[in-house]
Each structure stands twice: as C-alpha cells, then as structure tokens.
Structure 1
C-alpha cells in the first residue's frame, strides 16, 4: 500500500490505473513527462506531441502501455483522444484487446451523467469474453452495475471466483457498498469475507466502516485481526488508535499512535488530534499539547483541534486556559454543536466548584447561566434540556426563586406539545415536583398540592408526590 486516503471517497474514479495496467516500470516512467505536459496545458492538442510520438514508437507492441496512455487522457476528461487510443488497441489484431475494452468501459462510465450503466457494462463484458482472467473487467462491471441491479453485480464477481477461486468476492462487494456510503451493507458483506483473502485495504476499509457507524469495538477487533497479517501497518494502526480513544483505552491508543507515526505515509491534522486525545487520556499532558499544536500546524484552517486542547487544560484542572480556548473555538467554528456550548457552561461550573467565596462562585456560575441563555436562542428545539441544566446552576447559586422560574418555563414548554415522549414526561414529572416542593416551602399548600397532583397525572407511581399529599 503506497498511499492511503484518510477517509473513503464517496465515488470511485474508475479510470485510475490498475495493477493489470501498471506492470511495466519503463512505460510508467516514460508516461511521467507526458502526464506533466498534458496537465500543464490540458487544452493544447499539441501538448507533449513529440514525447507521445516517441512513446508510441517505443511501446507500440504493449497493450498495457497503450492503454496506460489512454488513461492519461481519460483522467484529463479528454474523452475523444482516450477513445481514439482505446479503439486503436481493440482494432490491433496483434493485441488481445481486453484491456482496450476496459478503457472503453471506463470512458463510457465517466461520460455517463444519467446513471445508465449499460454502455460501460457492455464494454467490460466484451473485455471479459476476450480474457476471462481480466480481474479489472469483472470489478469494473460490478461497480458500474451496482445501481442497476446489485444482485447481478455480485453475480459477476462470483463468475470471477470460478476462474480465480481465491478471489475475495465478499470483500469486493463490501468495497462497492462502501464507496456508495452504504456502511451497514458493507459491514454485512465484510462479515461474510474470508480474512485469509483480505488485503490490507480490505481490513482498513472494514475497520473504517465499523468506526463510522460507531461500532468501535468491532472496528478495533477487525484491524487487530488485520495487524496479525500486516504487522505494524500504520494504516490499520490509525483505525485502532481512533477506536481505542473512543473506547477510552488510552494506553493502547498511545501505542497504536506510535505505530502510525513510525510509518512513512502522509499524516493529517486528525492523526495528531486523535493522538493528542490518547495522550491526554494517558495523562501525558505536555506531549498532548505538542500533538495538538502539530494538528493546528498541519491544517491551519481547522479549528477542531482547539476542542482537544481545551479538554487537555480541563483535565489538568486549568479551567481558565480551558475557557479561553473554548471561547476561541466557538468564535471561529461554523460547526459548533450544542455539546460544544454545553462544554463551555460545564467548564464555568467546574471552575465555580473550586471556589469557596460565595460571591466569587456566583459570579462564575452567572456566566454559565448566560451560556445556557445563548443556547436557548441557538438551539430552540432543545430548550427544555437547556433550561433544566440552567436550573441546576441556579440551584448551585442557592437561588430557589430562579429555579422555580425556570421550572415554569419547562412546564409551559412541555404542556404545549401535542404529545409527550419519554423525555418530556420525565421532565414534567421532575419540574412539577420541584414546583410543588418550592411552593410548599413558601407556605402555599394549595398551589403545592396542585403541582403534586400534576406529578401523579404524569406518573401515578411517584411515591414522593403521594407522600407530599399525605396519601
């Protein structure tokens, strides 16, 4: 595995060079200056003219080399020249022509904008007829035909297994589903695959599919199995590190992280960010901060690592630095969630808990209240949840009147709903009881009893409300 995408692309680029078309190092080297010249002047029909002429002269007897040249044009979306080269291959009686028909299929697939796979599939079928051992043709057929009939697509792979008994049909079917973003279908296919026939890519993608669906233990189990076959793989170790962090096994995550960074592959900001989380969990705080800084340096437009940095400061008990970084993140991020805002409020609460002076404590808690107030405006659909958190802060401030005021907001919000789900019923039960208790302490027994009775309408088995009503 020479290169590895960090995340899986949503669609396959069918025209990428394949092992069957990239065996000759000499023609691959000869293509480099041609590719560079064409990329530099894609609209110039004479670009690399002399180089191409020399190339065709030197490799005129190689079907692989000529198709590779066609792929260069195809990747530039120069379909006419790519087609011309493909036709010259299939019409050359000295060639088998199978690879040329694969190129024609790739051209048809990439030109097609309406999802009709028939033309491409026809070319791939011709390639198979000419060379039943052409693995690429079977795979291309399955990939373009999956939207038309996924059953037929897999059957085509089964045909390949007849000529190549060890071909990983299930793993390839999983890859097809994965590139369509059908993660659950991909996982189902991977589960049927024989691990002995799976490649490093297969294990990586299998682990990633499990990770993206939040099945972290499965992701870890899969890549650990892959590591037995491909020891010290930095790519499999990457998934293992990510999954271990989610499973809070930070010691293992750090060890997997070391394997990731020992490899020669390109590292992205998320690698450093996840590694920082692992180091933080392992209480290696200085190293964690250093890793976050590398993440920020690797992608100067990303602000997500700031969340990790804030978490590191919080873990160290440095709430002031954590608050500073959290506020920076919220001011810069366009993707901040309600959890990010709640984290800021929680950090104010954590800081307040370290203070003994009541005035100083309440001053900090008031900032938490303000954060929750902002959240109500930003995330109105979870107003009830936000208010209940706000009420907890008011309780910490020893302000029962504020608590009661907030409870009344929650009660009105839930009562306005046409139907109540489990959470809403639980919220109502709690705030009704809280309001009953509040008015009882205020000496307003009739109003207190009214709220205790409301508790029993929501939950007839609430023993505290029954006791308050003398039942």
Structure 2
C-alpha cells in the first residue's frame, strides 16, 4: 500500500515537474519574443523559437491556446523576417504558423486576442507576398497565384491582391477564373479598365454578346471613356451594323473631333450604306488634318472611280479618282 502510494506520489511529482517546465519554457519564449520586438535582434527571435519548440512536444502542449498563440506569433514573424529561410526548419515556418492559426481560429478564446491574431495574419501576408514576388520574377505564374490566394485568405477582400490574381489567371490562360475575379473587382470597385478587360476576355471565350453587354455597361458608367467607346464601335463595324456605328461615331467625334480613325470610320460607314456624299465629306475631313493618310486617299479615289463608272462618266470624277489613287500609291 505504502509502495503504491509512493509510486503515485512520484508520478504526480513528475507530472507537476513537466508542467512547471512547460510553463517555464512558454514564459521564456514569450519573454524572448518580447525582447526581439524591442531589440529587432534576430538572435532573440531564434532563441524564442528554440524555447517554444521545447515546450511544444506533447498533445497537451499542442492543444493549449497559449502555446499555440505564442508559437504562432513566433513562427509567423520568422516567416516574414527570415524570408530567405536562412535557418533550418523541419517544416516551413509559414506552414507551422498556419497550422497554429487554424487552432486559434477554432478556439473560444480567440476574441480575447484579436490584436495578436491580426499581427499574425499581417506577418504571414508579408511572407506570402514575398513568395509571390519571387515566383513572378521566375515567371512561375501558377505558384504566384497560389501565394496571392493565401494573402487574400488572410486579409479578406483586397482589390490589389485580387487584381493580381485576375491578371495572372489571364496570363496563364485560365480565362474563366480571370473573369470571375474581374467580375468581383467590377462590383467592389468599378473601373473602366475592368469593364474593358472583361469584354476582351468574354470575346476570347467566344461569348461576343456577353462581351458587348459588358462594354455597354461600362460605357453607361463611363460615358467619356474612349477605349470602351472604340470597343463598341469596332464590334458594330466588324458585324457591319453601320447604322449603330454612325450613332456611336457622332458621340465619339464630340470627344475627339479631328480623330482620323473616327472620321475614316464615319466615311466608310456612310459609303457602306450608300450615302456617298456624306462618305466623301468625312474622307476629306481626314485628309484636311492628314493629307498623307493612305486609307482616306485610297477610299476617296475608289469612291470617285465608282461614281464615274455608275453615273455620267464625268471626266472630272475620273481625274479626281486618279489623283487620290496616285497619292495613295506613293504613300
């Protein structure tokens, strides 16, 4: 009986000893980490890491909120500070910190340590941003996307991060994923470029109607954006809907009256609709600002030649046709 009691006392004392040792290591690690925050001496952070590793070996250690919080603070800082991984690690410090962070997020004590958890997320975000930059410098766009996604999961909705993800998906050729991110960006922070990029992406997917609708939505929001206006103009021009082209050209010319491309497009549209006099008027506007414009000289020459052949065969029309066609040939 006495012997059994003695063994029990020894076991209890041993457990108490381990508990005290673990508490001491946790306290030492916390103090070393606090010292690092004052000194910014990497050796203090390295010491804190060794101490928390010693106090994080049993199942009880790994389930302790305080242990996980301290370990997460230390390893997230290591992930950011030791970006080139000069120390040896069995497991990457960012992964270590993420594992602990998951335990913290699932704990009922989380709300009492919001500032510490925000610090951890901030350090991990720095680490993954660094990784993303390294991947980008090596043209590893797929891994860069993964790194940016980790940042996004830590910071919440971040338009600059999501813009990078959208752009990288576009470069990789993940068009559908890129569209999803640009759609979200368009909702969160509408910009003309987002509408325009989405229009081109839908076009790449062969969804021309969706592309047009996005461009039109963008133009309603940004009525003076030339790129969106030209996209819509080109769409209707490619589809030979010249009545629509002329509607938009009138709007565009209010923004840029002497634009040679717009005036040429107006002339071409009028010519396609059989309004040759109006076509002549706009081709001449191009040549008034740029006499050596090949397209306008050639188009005007053909217009006069066609008028000569179709009408009274006035020599004056033939002379004009030759004049403009010769200029075009010399350009």
Please, what TM-score do these two structures have when normalized by structure 2?
A: 0.50
Bigger radius of gyration among the two: 2
Which one has a larger percent helix, Structure 1 or Structure 2? Answer: 2
Please, what TM-score do these two structures have when normalized by structure 1?
A: 0.37
